[in-house]
Amino acid sequence: MGVLLLRERSKARGSPVWGYIEQLPDSIDTPVRWEAAELEQLQYQPAIDEIRQQQASWRQQYDKFAAALQPGAGPCSWEDFLWAVENVRSRAFSGPYTGSSVGEKARTLGLLLAAGGGYTLWAHLPLEQALNGLISVLVFNIMYDLLISQKLKWYALCPVVDAINHNSLVESDVQFEYFQDQFVLSTKSAYAKGQQVFISYGSQANGSLLQYYGFTGTGWR
C-alpha cells in the first residue's frame, strides 16, 4: 500500500486521489525517526528495544525496495519511504477480505446468465444442466467469501475517517458494509454540531501509541 501511495504522489495532479494525498502530513514525528540519544531519554528499555527493532526492519525493507526499483522509475529517498509507510501504518483500516464488491458480483452474475443462456440455446443443453452450472458458480462465490475471506485481510485508507483523533474511552467502530459497498463509522457517543469527534484506535498501551502514532495521552490505556 505504501508503494501505491508513492506511485500516486509521483503523478501529482494527474492522480485521481491527489486531493487526498495533498492533505496527508509531510511527516509524522514517531520514534522510528529518532536518534539513539533521543531514544535513551524514554528511560524504558522494553519500548527502546521495540523501536530499535522497528527501525532495523523498516530500513531493511527500504533497502530491498530501493534495490528493486526498475530503471527509469526515479529514486526513492529514505524520507519518501518513511512518509509512505508512516501514513499507511498510522491511518490504514483492516478487515476480512471479501473479494469483489456486491456490485461487481452482480455484474458478473448478469454476464454469466447472459452467456449461459446463449450457450444453452446454441448447444441445445437441457435447462436443468445449465441451472446446475449456474448454482455451482454461485455456491463457489459464497463459499469463497465465507471461508477464504477469514484467512485474508484487506487494508484501506479512508479519507476523512482516517483523520479523526483517538480517545481510548470512546466506543466506536469502522466497518465495511458489504451489501452497500461503503465504509461506515459508528460511535456510541453523542456529538453536538461543531464538536470534535473521536474514535478509538483499539486497546493500545501508551508505548504503542507513541511508537506508531507519535502521541500519548494521560489516562488513556
220 inside domain: no
pLDDT digits (tens, 9 = 90+) for 62-96: 999 999 988 777 789 999 999 999 999 999 887 65
Whether 138 and 106 share a structural domain? yes
Whether 74 and 29 share a structural domain? yes
218 inside domain: no
Pick from 192, 145, 195: nearest CA to 165: 195
142 inside domain: yes
| pLDDT band at 4; cut points 50, 70, 90 | very high
| pLDDT band at 124; cut points 50, 70, 90 | low
From 45-59, 116-130, 200-214, the region with the lowest mean pLDDT: 116-130
Global pTM reads: 0.70
Whether 66 and 10 share a structural domain? yes
Whether 130 and 140 share a structural domain? yes
Highest mean pLDDT among 43-52, 64-73, 129-138, 160-169: 43-52
Residue numbers of the domain that contains 140: 102-151
CATH number for the domain that contains residue 188: 3.90.1410.10
Q: How many domains does the chain have?
A: 2
User: pLDDT: is 135 or 15 the higher one?
Assistant: 15
CA distance 48 to 36: 9
Q: How are the residues of the chain apportioned to helix, strand and coil, as percentages rounded to the nearest 5?
A: 55, 10, 35
Whether 167 and 147 share a structural domain? no
158 inside domain: yes
The β-bridge relationship of strands 172-177 and 165-166 is unpaired
The β-bridge relationship of strands 153-156 and 93-96 is antiparallel
- pLDDT at 174 > cutoff 60: yes
159 inside domain: yes
pLDDT at residue 220, rounded to an integer = 44
Whether 42 and 147 share a structural domain? no
Measured CA angle at 39 (ends 35, 41), to 5 deg: 125
Task: Look up residue 121 and give its amino acid.
Answer: L
